[in-house]
């Protein structure tokens, strides 16, 4: 049997960190060899690992990128809510090492991404687009990274201006709006609905995650896949073999 892929887990004390540890306990192909949370140095923990998995906070990305670039380790970024500058940092890092960046590691949500692309192509500009997401009360960023990915998929098809919620005398809806709405409460793991509202009919595509294990299993799959890949920025669709890369 091949040696297990050695993982340094960043954000190990959080909800996703704990789900990753649990998933890794049942996966002989990966081993968590080191774990960091807020305040812990990434070095020297990174030295004994093949890949870093990050489920912490967007502000951790600078130190993580510096360490993986210096030591040439692969990186899986599950954290969401990065600023444009932090996103640019991830892209710079991906010129030195292989990086998987995914707003959502679940197979079902990656199917939702594909279905959203197809429905957008089929229905065209007569359909108004709205995205609704709901997460637990402790989530720190809004809208969710997954809602932003869904919006970006549709923005590749036609010119759309994101509108985050509505309040007051906002006037009639403009044809080029894409409404994005974030609901927070309870212990909801993650719900996403894409609404295509057309004349006389409405299509809604909904995904509901009921357990963080689906994200954890996907992130471990990404970690196994990314070790040994050439430097570059990869998506979960690359991991799942859904994209053609020249
Ligand atoms: N990509 C996906 O599939 C997916 C799924 C679920 C959550 N997420 C994202 O993962 C991130 C974590 O989610 P969560 O629900 O586990 O959050 P959480 O708040 O429960 O856990 C975050 C952990 O990171 C630690 N942390 C914060 N700043 C840190 C730093 N600078 N260095 C090291 N550790 C630090 C915290 O102490 C905490 O233990 C969020 O950005 C969330 O949106 C992504």
- pLDDT tens figures, 79-104: 999 999 999 999 999 999 999 999 99
Catalytic residue among 57, 72, 82, 139: 139
Measured from the CB, is residue 78 less than 6 Å from ligand 1? yes
Measured from the CB, is residue 104 less than 6 Å from ligand 1? yes
* Mean pLDDT along residues 187-200: 98
DSSP secondary structure of the chain:
-PPPEEEEEESTTSHHHHHHHHHHHT-TTEEEEEEE-TT--STTGGGG-SEEEE-S-GGGHHHHHHHHHHHT-EEEE------HHHHHHHHHHTTTSEEEE-S---HHHHHHHHHHHHHHHHHGGGSEEEEEEEE-TT--SSS-HHHHHHHHHHHTTS--EEEE---SS--SPPTTEEEEEEEE-TT--EEEEEEEEETTEEEEEEEEE--THHHHHHHHHHHHHHTTPPSEEE-HHHHTT-S---
Ligand 1 probe mutation, 8, 9, 10, 11, most atoms within 8 A of CB: 11
Is the pLDDT score of 2 beyond 90?
no
pLDDT computed for residue 1 by the predictor = 67
> In which band, very low, low, confident or very high, does the pLDDT at 243 lie, cut at 50, 70 and 90?
confident
Q: What is the pTM of this model?
A: 0.92
Measured in angstroms, how far is the CA atom of residue 96 from the centroid of ligand 1? 24
Chain segment 23-37, per-residue pLDDT in tens:
999 999 999 999 999
User: Is-catalytic flag, 139?
Assistant: yes
Closest CA to ligand 1's atom 20: 14
Measured in angstroms, how far is the CA atom of residue 167 from the centroid of ligand 1? 30
Measured from the CB, is residue 143 less than 6 Å from ligand 1? no
Is the pLDDT score of 242 beyond 90?
no
pLDDT computed for residue 11 by the predictor = 98
Catalytic residue among 135, 181, 192, 207: 135
pLDDT computed for residue 246 by the predictor = 41
Measured from the CB, is residue 47 less than 6 Å from ligand 1? no
Chain segment 28-71, per-residue pLDDT in tens:
999 999 999 999 999 999 999 999 999 999 999 999 999 999 99
């Amino acid at each position: 049997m091949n040696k297990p892929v050695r993982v340094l887990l960043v954000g190990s004390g959080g909800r996703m960190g704990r789900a990753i540890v649990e998933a890794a306990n049942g996966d002989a192909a990966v081993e968590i060899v080191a774990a960091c949370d807020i305040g812990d140095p990434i070095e020297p923990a990174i030295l004994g690992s093949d890949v870093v998995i990050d489920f912490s906070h967007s502000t951790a990305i600078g130190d993580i990128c510096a360490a993986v670039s210096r030591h040439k380790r692969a990186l899986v970024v599950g954290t969401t809510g990065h600023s444009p500058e932090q996103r640019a940092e991830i892209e710079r890092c991906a010129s030195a090492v292989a990086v998987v960046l995914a707003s959502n590691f679940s197979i079902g949500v990656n199917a939702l991404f594909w279905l959203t692309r197809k429905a957008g192509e089929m229905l065209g500009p007569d359909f108004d687009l709205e995205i609704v997401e709901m997460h637990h009360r402790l989530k720190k960023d809004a809208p969710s990274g997954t809602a932003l990915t869904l919006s970006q998929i549709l923005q590749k098809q036609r010119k759309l201006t994101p509108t985050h919620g509505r309040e007051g005398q906002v006037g009639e809806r403009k044809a080029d709006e894409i409404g994005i709405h974030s609901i927070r409460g309870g212990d909801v793991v993650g719900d996403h609905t894409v609404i295509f509202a057309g004349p006389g009919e409405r299509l809604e595509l909904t995904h509901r995650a009921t357990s963080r294990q689906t994200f954890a299993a996907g992130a471990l799959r990404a970690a196994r896949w990314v070790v040994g890949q050439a430097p570059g920025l990869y998506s979960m669709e690359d991991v799942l073999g859904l994209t053609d890369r020249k």
